[in-house]
Structure 1
């Protein structure tokens, strides 16, 4: 076996490497203890994943959508609101078509604006029921006009959902589930 050689390397932190291995300087030991102490670790809420700009953008998107829906429905002519609800079954859809059919004929522009904003809001925030809204468009507007309305609304809602998810979703998933994210990234790479 060869004789151990003595090599001395000094870094800015005071780390000295000698013949048998490494020896940490006093400053490095103190830094290591500070990093491991519970008081130096921040809680999850102190390490919030969004910048102020991202958080403000997410809140403002929600409030803009909500305010727009409120203003549209507030300015609509009076109707029997007790009978209006998001359809969950096909029979609910038939009842809603009967109640909205005359309203859609009397106020077509306001009805289409309300329908489109509701559909885009539901699609953006992934609220269940857009399939019934699609069927309702076909029932109220006919197949061709309903198809164009549904394609436009689904595309606009899915696009806004994607951009909102990209803005908020990526940092949120990284913050809440970092181990699972690393596992799935490792699975995809392999």
Structure 2
């Protein structure tokens, strides 16, 4: 049975769903201003990186939408990575964190690129760092603007997440690890919804850092053989998926055992 605090918490989450908010823009002027300011800060950072690079044709610098785009980007960036390592690293971090903050799809291509440009060890460290920073940025931005957006776009999914968090409050870190390691909920949704359902940041942070390492390793390692990939589906063969699920089940076992004992 949920505690009184959990019951009140769930009532607060469910209450706005009864309002016909889908017919109007969910953000207030202040919330929209905050989101625009954050986006502008990332754009200024990218512009600063771009201006420090030598004059050249940078038409290849675009967000990859396919493996072909990614291979072209890798081929062009290899030279710049050796000559302008700092600029490439800063540019990579800004782009990845920006995409994570605003839930822009395509970070899997960025993880593959890290492996192709920096190798496994440096690539995994870079991906875990940027993914955690981006998830944290999304977490804190959601504290300001997330509630109306979630109520408008994903009320049922938010209710499900709220219920699961309330049930597993005593072993929340294990549950967050399970979510990161398995496709139970999208990572972008977890980043955005966690502060709304009162997941403490230290739990969110630890679950993100630890939970992203296995998937980051699989993706970054695949980036070493980028030319051999035919589709994104080639990243996760049966062994990789089974391993991630096994780790996820192990991580949530203390939670399940705690419930059975009670």
Tell me if 1:137 matches 2:84. Answer: no
When residues 89 and 172 of structure 1 are mapped into structure 2, their CA distance, relative to the original with a 3 A threshold, is: closer
Determine helix, strand or coil for the equivalent of 1:69. helix
The answer to whether the 8 Å contact 1:123/1:157 transfers is: yes
Q: CA deviation at 1:101?
A: 0.4
Larger Rg: 1
> What count of residue pairs does the alignment treat as equivalent?
140
User: Residue 82 of structure 2 corresponds to which residue in structure 1?
Assistant: 105
Checking the alignment, whether the CA contact within 8 Å between 1:124 and 1:157 is kept in structure 2 is: yes
Query: For 1:114 and 1:162, how far apart are their aligned partners in 2?
Result: 22
Q: How far is 1:171 from its partner?
A: 3.3
Q: What is the aligned counterpart of 1:168 among 120, 123, 145? A: 145
What do residues 109-167 of structure 1 show as CA deviations (whole Å, max 9, x unaligned)? 11111111111111111111110111001100111111100000000001111211221
User: Judging changes above 3 Å, is the alpha-carbon distance between structure 1 residues 142 and 57 closer, same or farther for their aligned structure 2 residues?
Assistant: same
Question: Which 4+ stretches in 1 moved above 6 angstroms?
Answer: none
Secondary structure at the aligned position of 1:88 is classed as: coil
Q: Which has the higher contact order (CA 8 A, sep 6+)?
A: 2
* C-alpha distance after superposition, 1:73-100 (max 9, x if no partner): 2222223212232222223222221111
- The question of 1:148 aligning with 2:125 is answered yes
Gaps of 5+ in 1: 1-43
| Contact kept? 1:123, 1:154, Cα under 8 Å | yes
Q: CA separation in 1, counterparts of 2:79 and 2:71?
A: 14
Q: Which residue in 2 is equivalent to 1:17?
A: none
Deviation at 1:64, TM superposition (A): 1.3
Q: Which runs of 5+ in 2 are unaligned?
A: 1-22, 167-262
SS for the counterpart of 2:59 is helix
RMSD of aligned alpha carbons: 2.9
Aligned to 1:128: 105
